[in-house]
Amino acid sequence: MEQEEDRIQDLRSKATELFLRKEWKHSIDVYTELISLYHDKISNPHQKNLEKLKKSLCLALCNRAEARLNLQDFAQALKDCNEASRVENTHFKTLVCKGKIWLSLNRYALALECFKEANLDNHELENSEILNLYLDKCKKFEFLSRTGALDVSDWVVNKFEGKSPELAEYIGSIEIKKSEISGRGLFATKNVDCGNLLLVTKAVAIERAIVPESSFEGAKEQAQLDMWKSFIDKIMECIKRCKRTCDLMCRLSNGENEDGLEVLDIDMFRPEAVDSRFCNTKIDDKEKLLNILDVNSLVEELVSTKILGKYNDVHGIGLWLLACFINHSCDPNVRRSHIGDHVMIHATRDIKAGEELTFAYFDVFSPFRDREERAKAWGFVCKCKRCNLEKGVCSNQEMMEMEMFLGKGVDNGGVVYRLEESMRRWMVRGKGKGYLRSSFWQAYTDVYDSERLSRKWGSKIPMMENVLDSVVDAVGSDERIVKLLMRGLKRKNGHKGNGILEMEKAMKLGRGLYGKIMKKQTLKTILIQLGGN
């Protein structure tokens, strides 16, 4: 008996030390042995001090749950908490740990219940302060997950200093349906105004690395390869721990039999989806896993995903389960922004009920042939309205000659003038003009950004405002459009400040770029900053 007690004391001390040093895996192993010994002693009908042993067992289970929570092994952590609750259903530490697990799983209502129950049994001031923080956080997240009223204004105003804002997952008025573009897609279930938030979702896993633009090509490739390997390892850990994640990943496209894919109920992706909806599927074939990741992973390299052009040297790759259903189009209607491990999707133009959501997998301001090559590298052919129009137009010799002048240091006013005259002869109307102007965006930017070229070409080319309107109508809001507009307004108005009507127009474009939820004063500050860049 003494040897057994000494063994328990030794394990308890060792487990506590490992736990405090945050050596989670090792502490779990020791707690597991300790818990087994406690079970043996409690099952002994002649055992004395039964209540004390049960309290010790409860604490050991709770600490193991906490260690598993830190390793994001949520399923096993919940099992430990449930077992601890059966031993003592009002155990304060267990209730707090269980609340943190539910919070990590975005089950805000369940987390709130746990913290409220823990608060009833709390008698310490220090614990009260911690609990109040968790209670406030749960209430806030539960509200945000219902309304999508997320606001990152303060973070933006503070120039992105400190930790990125904590976001709640949110699924707006969208559903999964068969797509005419490819496989399955996300569709609006009701009319959506420009700037409205549609989706906020956290990555299953994400890997980032700093890859300076000045790096030589070989170094960039090696950095990206290392990043990809680390990303795969993280994904494999996630699917080992969580049957729900593994099951949902198995239902994603692997690039084959797109037409035969099951149309999934979007409720399966909500945090509160019941476990019985998910099978104990496994991805034993690494090649299958790689194919799924190759088709569905998103990169963080696009200009359009980076707020205010920040973090240009930061490259990332991640898997966001719902966002990966959004197909590509060269005339997209939604924009994605990456904040922390979350991706936010909002409308960059008005979207009609039943319309498919699309964003650009690559830069929409690239010429047609460049976009065509990028699409091939991604393994598809873009058949959007813009590409279909440009495919016909860009096959002629005159268009190819204009494309050749881009980026060659020539007077781009001549390129703009020639394109505008060609569109008039070819009778290109409406959105078609916006499509072609977007493809020659660099030429238009060079002209309108230069006082010399603007004076030189004057009335021979369209007014900048008309061109910007057509480009926004064609491809939605983009930071580079807003930046050009604001710089133009600054030159036009000088130190007198921007005109009210002109600023309202800029604000409208800003809503399409950053979303409606950003505070008006914050948005105005951003726009003025863009005008100074």
pLDDT by residue (tens digit) across 387-404?
Answer: 999 988 877 888 888 888
Q: What is the pTM of this model?
A: 0.87
Find, among 357, 348, 369, 389, the residue nearest to 514 by Cα: 348
The pLDDT value given to residue 310: 52
Note the pLDDT tens digit of each residue in 123-155: 666 678 889 999 999 999 999 999 998 888 888
Please say whether the beta carbons of 508 and 467 come within 8 A.
Answer: no
pLDDT: which is higher, 517 or 172: 172
**183 by DSSP, 3-state: which?**
coil
The pLDDT value given to residue 312: 57
The pLDDT value given to residue 309: 45
pLDDT: which is higher, 470 or 527: 470
Note the pLDDT tens digit of each residue in 330-377: 999 999 988 888 999 999 989 999 999 999 988 999 999 999 999 998
The pLDDT value given to residue 498: 53
Regarding beta strands 342-347 and 298-299, do their DSSP bridges make them parallel or antiparallel, or are they unpaired? unpaired
Please say whether the beta carbons of 484 and 445 come within 8 A.
Answer: yes
Q: Give strand ranges (E) for 166-230.
A: 170-171, 174-178, 184-188, 197-202, 205-210
The pLDDT value given to residue 308: 43
Note the pLDDT tens digit of each residue in 201-237: 999 999 988 777 666 677 778 888 899 999 999 999 9
Whole-number Å distance between alpha carbons of 520 and 100: 34
The pLDDT value given to residue 253: 92
Residue 291, pLDDT > 80, answer: yes
User: What number of residues does the chain have?
Assistant: 533
Note the pLDDT tens digit of each residue in 2-27: 778 889 999 999 999 999 999 999 99
Tell me the pLDDT of the chain averaged across its residues.
88
Q: Give strand ranges (E) for 303-430.
A: 314-319, 327-328, 334-339, 342-347, 358-359
Domains and CATH numbers, the chain: 2-147 (1.25.40.10), 153-359 (2.170.270.10), 369-532 (no CATH)
Please say whether the beta carbons of 207 and 231 come within 8 A.
Answer: yes
Please report the DSSP string for 103-156 in residue order.
HHTT-HHHHHHHHHHHHHT---HHHHHHHHHHHHHHHHHHHHHHH-----HHHH
Mean pLDDT of 56-74: 95
Q: Phi, psi at residue 236, to the nearest 5°? A: -60, -40
Nearest 10 degrees: CA dihedral of 302, 303, 308, 313? 70
Find, among 24, 9, 26, the residue nearest to 71 by Cα: 24
